[in-house]
Every structure is written in C-alpha cells, then in structure tokens.
Structure 1
Amino acid sequence: MDVLDLSRWQFGITTVYHFLFVPLTIGLSLIVAGMQTAWYRTENPDYLRMTRFWGKLFLINFAMGVVTGIVQEFQFGMNWSAYSRFVGDVFGAPLAMEGLIAFFMESTFLGLWIFGWDKLPRKIHLATIWLASIGTAVSAYFILAANSWMQHPVGYRLNPVSGRAELTDIWAVLTNSTTLATFPHVIFGAFVTAGAFVAGISAWQLARKRDVALFRTSGRVAMVVSLVAAVGVALSGHWQAQIMTEQQPMKMAAAEALWEDETSAGFSLFAIGDVENGRNHVNLQVPNGLSLLATNSFDGEVEGINDVQARYQAQYGPGDYRPVIGLAYWSFRLMIGFGALAGLLALAGLWLTRRGRLPESRWFTRIAVLGIALPFLANSLGWIFTEMGRQPWTVFGIMRTAAAVSPGVDVAEVALTLVGFTLVYAVLAAIEVRLLLKFIRMGPESEAAPAEPIPALSY
C-alpha cells in the first residue's frame, strides 16, 4: 500500500469507529430528556429511576464520542494537509461554529445536568438536559454541513492566485440542499439507534424479571421511538436519494449497478456484474423501483455508469470516475436491509408487549439484544456508501482524493499511526463495553430521589 491507501484506511477506521458513538449520543439525549420530563410532570419515581439509569449509559457514550472525535480532526493536519490547505477557508467555518456554539452548548448544559440534581430547581434542571440534547443536534448539523460541502460544494470561489477554495457565502454552505436532506436522515437514524439500544437492554432486564414495570415502560417507549424514526429514515432517505441522483449521478448508478441510461429503471435486489465490460450477468429487480426512488416518477430517467463515466471524462479529463462498484452496491443494500429490520423488530416488540403483556419466550429477548447491532450496522454502512461512493473525489468536482494527501508523510509514519490508533481504539472499546455492562447489571437505583449527582466516572 502507498501513503494514499493507508491514509484512507486510517481515516475510514477512525471515522466509522467514532460514528458508533454519535447516533447513540444524539438519540439517547432525547430519550433521557423525555423520561425526565415525564418524571417532572407525573412525579412517578420510576421515571426518575429511568432517567438516571439511562442517563449514566448516555454519559459514558458521550465521553467516548468526544475522545474519538478529537482524533479525527488531527488527521486533517497529519494525513490530509493538502486538503486542509485547499479547503480550509470553507471547511473550517462550520467546524469552528460547531466547536464554539454547539459543543460549548451541549457540554456546558450537560455539566449542569450532571452536577445539578440536588442544586438546581427541578424546572431549571430539566431545561439543562433539553438544551444539551438540542446542542447535540446542532453539533451534528454543523458537521454535516461541512461534509455536505464535500459532496456538493457551494458558496465558494477558487482563487486563481493561491489555488485555494475561499468562502463567499456561509449561508449557502449552511443551507446546502445536501445538508437539508442529510440532517433529518442522520437524526432519524440516531433515534432508531438509541431506541434499539434501550429496547434491547430493557428486554434483557425483563427476561430476568428485574423492575418489570420500569423496563416494560422504557422498552415500549424505545420501540415507539424506533418505529417512528424508522419511517422517518425511509422518507428522508427517499428525499436524499433524489438529491444524490441530481448532484452525484455516478454514486446512484453505482448503488444500483446501472450501467446504461434507463427510463422506468428497476430497483436491483441482487446482481452479478462484469465491471470490466460494464454490464450485469444477473440482475433481479423490482420494476420501476429505481426510477421512483431517484426521480419520484415510475418512468423517470436514471443515468448509468458508462454514460456518466463518458460525460465526466469529457468534463474533467481522462480518468476512471467510478467508485468501487461492488462496495457501493452492497453497502447501499445492506444499509437499507439492516435499517428495515430494526424498524420491523420494533413493530414486533410493540405487538408482543401490547395490553400489559410480556414476551414469555427467550427468542424475543435474544433477538432484541442482537437487534441493538442493526442500526449501528446500517449507520456505518450508510457512511461507507456515502464516502466511498463519492470517490475518486474528496471534494466532488474540484479536488480528487489523490491530490488531498499530505505530501511530506511517508508510508512508515502512516502505518505506525494506523496501528497505534487501532490499538488505542481497541482499548477504548473494551473500557466502553465494561462500563456499560457494569451499569446495566447494576440496574436502576432503588431510592426514589437522588441525593448525589451522577458519578463522575460515568462522565
């Protein structure tokens, strides 16, 4: 491997690892805020115990997310300095706003929530968790705005003297159509993730007959959140697919292994392709499904890989503008499949727990616990598709990935940090799992009201 390949591996590993914590943090913050609101309104001590139990798990996850996120930003200077120099004026603006506004907001109010249990009035304390939750969503928006600019650059100009991209319209960057479509998709995905997490742990506790009333309530709340959010993921994904078809037709064509322009295009369920010759040997399809997904019309036209490749060569010069077709195709399918299974599992759980019932068979508990992984897999595969499907571009249409890597870094240096980060992340994963299992096994506090703040260890 050369420096470019190793740098891409390193950034991919750290990004996918970091994003395991992000959606759970976003979704759990809202669920915990909702539980504390229920306690505030009803004074039911079970809602207080739920708030504090799930709040501990939320804080552990939040801390890990902060630690792993810092490493990502270091890489822009270490492995991708050419990229940072080229787009720093534009890319840095939303990231700076995320740090100065959103992260400051969420960390400040989260600190007040942690240590303010017996010091702040109940209404003010409730407001702190809601403001922290809003801060996590705002943080996600700014980061997605930066990423969306890489997918669809707007609000900039290329300086012919310095050869750099310069920001001309921050409002255009923040209201990028790609951002507006991506943000709800990511947020709904976060709610599915948190809902599956809470539902799976609740099912595990119910199987052991621990705090049955409490965990039945938290499990059903989580499953409602997951089911509603799964519908939101599907609807926002449909909107995102149309934006992608318009802005990055090669990515959509690769996702469907569609080689030639086609009207009334079918949605591919299973294909065996010949990438070298640009065709499929086998392609099982849903008639008109792709045209509906991509254009909102059963007879809409969708561009194919071969036609887009020819157009890009004429527009950008000689080169291969295709991503790894097999990776784009299967990551797109698996993303949809795992997300759909998470929604169906939530629906099944709500049916089995209706009218005060509890599932008697252990199969549901096992599936619910295993189901925790489904939205994590869907989120990771979605980002792999999003980033790999954009290749060979780092910034679509204006900077190729090969030109973005740091010129002064050698293979040994990148390999050393790649191994180092992987080992550190393995240790962090062991710590995260151990802390989560410790507090899950301990279960909710038995007292009706908190006397002390949540332990600092959780934070």
Structure 2
Amino acid sequence: MTEVVFLSRIQFAVTVFYHFLFVPLTIGLVILVAYMETQYARTRQLMYRQMADFWGKLFSINFVLGVVTGITMEFQFGTNWSEYSKYMGDIFGSPLAIEALVAFFLESTFMGMWLFGRDKISPKMRAFAIWMVALGTNISALWIITANGFMQHPVGYVVRNGRAELNSFYELVTNSYAWYMFFHTVIASYIVGSFFVMGISAYHLIRKQNVAFFEKSFNIALALGLFAATATPFIGHQHGVNTAQVQPAKAAAMEAIWETQEKMPFHIISIPDAKNERNIEALSIPYMGSFFYTNNPNGKVIGLKDIPIDERPNVNIVYYSFRTMVALGVYFLALVWYGFYLVRKRKLVSSPRYLKAVLYSMLLPYLAMNLGWTVAEAGRQPWVVYGLMKTTEAVSPISSSQIIFSLTGLVLFYTILIIADVMLLVKYAKAGPNTEGAVKEGLEHVS
C-alpha cells in the first residue's frame, strides 16, 4: 500500500506540474492581450492591432494545449483516488461542476468568437470577447482553488454515513484560505504573463528588431509586472498569517520552526536539521518572525515539536521550496523596479545587460509558482483533507504496475505536448509581428 500511495502521489504531482506549465501563462497573458485589443478598439492605432495579433497568437497556442492537459488530470480522482472521491465527492464535485459548466463554457465560447470572428465582428466586440475569456480564466481558477481550499481548510461540512457532506455552500465559497490562495495565485500568474512578454520583447530589442513594437510591448508588460511583483509580498504575507492559523504544521515547516515561542526572531540564514529537530541559524532580526506569522511582533507561533510526528509534513521540502520562492519574488521585485527606472530615463533599449537579464529570467516565475504549489500541497501532508482524511486512506485499491503503466503514458504524452508548445511558441515568438496583415486591416477600416 505504501508503494501505491507513493506512486499515486507521484503521478498526480507530475500531472499537476505539467498542467501548471500552461495555466499561469494563460491567466497572465490574456490580460495583456485584452488590454491591447481594447486600446486598438479605442484608438484604432495599427500598432495595437499588431500587438494583439502577435501576443494573441502565442496566447492561443498556450490556451489550446493547456486545455488538453487539464482534462486528463480530473480522471485521476476516479482511477487513483477513488476512496477520496467516495468520501469527498459531495463537496469536491460542486465547485468542479460549476467550473466546467460556467467558467469553461464562458471562456471557450468567447475564445471561439475572438479567434474566428476576426472579420465578422467589430473591434469593440472583439475586445469584449477577449475580456470575457479573461473573466472565464479567472472564474475557472476561483472554483478550482475553492475545491482545493476545502482540502487545505475544511469548512461548511458534516460527516454523515462515513463521508463528508456539504451543509453550507456559503461557508465553502467564503473560505478564507481559498480566497488568499486565489489572489496569491492569480497575481503570481500576472508575473508569469508579464515576464513572458518582457522576455520575448527583450530578445527582439537586443537584436534591434521592430524596436518601436517591442519597446511598447515591454512597457505594457512592465506595468503589469510592477503591479503584480509589488502586490505579491503583501498578499503572500497575509496568506502566511492565515496559514499559521488554520495549518500550524505547514506554517512551522515553512521556516523550520521547532519550538513554540513568542517574540520569535526571523533568521535570514537558517539551515534545518530535521533529524535532530534544530537549525543552524545566523543574521537574525528580532520579533520579525512573530510578525510574519501573526501580524504582531509579540505573537505566539506554534513549533513542530508541539505537533505529533505523524502529522508533520516533510520539513526540508517545504522549507527550501518556500525560501526559494521568496528569494525569487524579491528578485522579480528588483528587476521590474529597475526596469521602471530605465523606462523613465529612456534607457531601456540602450541597456543590453538588463534586457539579457530579463530574457534569461523569463522562466523563473514558472519555477516560483510551482515551488509555491509544492509548499501548499507538500505542506498539507500527511493529510489529503486537512484534519479529516489522510493521504494513505484516499488511494484506490489498485496495483503498483497499473500506476507505473499509466504514469509512463502520461509522462510521454505530456512531454510531447510540452515540446510542441515550446516549439510553436519559440517559432512564432522569433518570427515577430505580421505587419502586413495589420496594415491591410487598418486600410479596410479606413475605407
């Protein structure tokens, strides 16, 4: 059974990580494309038409392939986690059904209108359509995170006849953990989208290709990046405070806190020794640790020693994932604000070192987001539903050979999709904008 649990966790983790390579770019990039469409509808400047077409093409590639990876993930609740589905189906099924019936149909319907109605609808209607796609992607994220939020912090339920049943839909949709997770995830996705556009723009600016087009694109993405990178630490901080309240074991693992204490310092340098339940620490800031977890410099923080050993997560995985994510967040903040300085001084195009740094950093937001989800999911262990159902109780009664077979197939299938996605994105990103099509459309509108 231990091997079945381990392999099932590996399979679901692989599926989620592959799928999540598409999701944040979809959420982040669609906002930028919608803004460009709106600016074109408002001003009729051809550059905005070119921008919406170029970045919209990259968005469409990522969107279509992302949908494919998401479908197979949901089947695992029946194949690998049937006991979980029996116990949690009444609650988990509701938000997922709403996500499929409302969000997915909203975004797919208007995606079709935006893609195939180019020559049939007005620029204003096309801008409206892509904003509806953006709304749909955010609603989709909300309902999926609502389902996950219950797993992190169960609310609005009763246990009846050996299974959890929903008795307050209001409590489910107002779950504090889910809302903090939603805003943290969506804002972080904006960083992914902005760095994607900034990175490709930097590639062309270094080569002095379509300078006006890509400088404008860079500036638009930088504005979103400034907002998202600046807001993320504040949202993340409040999310951490909430986590300490509802999941003290995860919060303690995030900073490898062993002893329950008040007025806890924050250790800038800290190396956990999980075997001996202690840390090697240096460069401490008094009271800051308590403030980070309670919003009070004198606040009390629960340590891992006050939590049963069999209810603690893997400290090293959670700790290093969290620390790396935070370090990347600080780096993103510095990068976008220095970029803002260069833009204000009109030195962006003449700063190749900065542009190369942005180009080489383009994939780092993906890493940061997946590290964040590692903290969220690994930090919840050994529970699949915190405090209600352990992961060992949730797996299907299947053999290890069956999981290995399906896992191998999933890895091969998803790897092919990722390769196709990257090849298409690189191909069209390097090709640059199609100025001829935009000029032709502009002349048609004038006539």
Relative to the length of structure 2, the TM-score reads 0.95
Match of 1:244 in 2: 243
Alpha-carbon distance change, 283 to 258 in structure 1, aligned in 2, over 3 angstroms? farther
Are the aligned partners of 2:339 and 2:348 in contact in 1 as well (CA < 8 Å)? no
Match of 2:411 in 1: 422
The CA distance in 2 between the partners of 1:232 and 1:92, in whole Å, is 32
Identity %: 44
- What letter matches 2:433 in structure 1? P
The CA distance in 1 between the partners of 2:235 and 2:360, in whole Å, is 26
> 1:222-267: CA deviations, max 9, x gaps?
1121111112211111111111010000111111111111111122
Match of 1:446 in 2: 435
Answer yes or no: is 1:81 the counterpart of 2:82.
yes
Query: 1:268: Cα distance to partner?
Result: 3.1
Match of 2:231 in 1: 232
Answer yes or no: is 1:369 the counterpart of 2:369.
no
Query: 1:284: Cα distance to partner?
Result: 4.4
- What letter matches 1:414 in structure 2? I
Q: Which has the larger displacement, 353-362 or 12-21?
A: 353-362
Answer yes or no: is 1:432 the counterpart of 2:421.
yes
Query: 1:273: Cα distance to partner?
Result: 3.0
Answer yes or no: is 1:357 the counterpart of 2:347.
yes
SS of 1:285's partner is: strand
Match of 1:5 in 2: 6
Match of 1:39 in 2: 40
The CA distance in 1 between the partners of 2:128 and 2:363, in whole Å, is 31
Are the aligned partners of 1:23 and 1:194 in contact in 2 as well (CA < 8 Å)? yes
Q: Which runs of 5+ in 1 are unaligned?
A: 310-318, 453-459
The CA distance in 2 between the partners of 1:357 and 1:114, in whole Å, is 36
Answer yes or no: is 1:275 the counterpart of 2:265.
no
SS of 2:252's partner is: helix
Match of 1:115 in 2: 116
Aligned residues: 440
Match of 2:128 in 1: 127
The CA distance in 2 between the partners of 1:198 and 1:390, in whole Å, is 34
Query: 1:63: Cα distance to partner?
Result: 1.1
The CA distance in 2 between the partners of 1:267 and 1:217, in whole Å, is 41
The CA distance in 1 between the partners of 2:251 and 2:127, in whole Å, is 44
Are the aligned partners of 1:118 and 1:450 in contact in 2 as well (CA < 8 Å)? no
Match of 1:149 in 2: 150
Are the aligned partners of 2:38 and 2:124 in contact in 1 as well (CA < 8 Å)? no
Match of 1:138 in 2: 139
SS of 1:218's partner is: helix
The CA distance in 1 between the partners of 2:199 and 2:159, in whole Å, is 50
SS of 1:20's partner is: coil
Answer yes or no: is 1:299 the counterpart of 2:298.
yes
The CA distance in 2 between the partners of 1:304 and 1:356, in whole Å, is 50
Query: 1:363: Cα distance to partner?
Result: 2.5
The CA distance in 2 between the partners of 1:60 and 1:216, in whole Å, is 23
Within 5 Å, which residues of 2 pair with 1:179-218?
A: 179-218=178-217
The CA distance in 2 between the partners of 1:41 and 1:361, in whole Å, is 32
Are the aligned partners of 1:199 and 1:368 in contact in 2 as well (CA < 8 Å)? yes
Query: 1:385: Cα distance to partner?
Result: 0.6
Query: 1:327: Cα distance to partner?
Result: 0.8
The CA distance in 1 between the partners of 2:117 and 2:422, in whole Å, is 27
SS of 1:2's partner is: helix
Query: 1:144: Cα distance to partner?
Result: 0.4
> 1:185-231: CA deviations, max 9, x gaps?
11110111100000000000111111111110110111121111112
Within 5 Å, which residues of 2 pair with 1:141-180?
A: 141-159=142-160, 161=161, 163-180=162-179
- What letter matches 1:135 in structure 2? G
Match of 1:27 in 2: 28
1:393 to 377, 383, 388: 383
Query: 1:394: Cα distance to partner?
Result: 0.2
SS of 2:239's partner is: helix
Ranges of 4+ aligned residues in structure 1 off by more than 4 Å = none
The CA distance in 2 between the partners of 1:156 and 1:133, in whole Å, is 32
Match of 2:393 in 1: 403
Are the aligned partners of 1:288 and 1:299 in contact in 2 as well (CA < 8 Å)? yes
The CA distance in 2 between the partners of 1:268 and 1:135, in whole Å, is 41
The CA distance in 1 between the partners of 2:64 and 2:330, in whole Å, is 29
- What letter matches 1:275 in structure 2? A
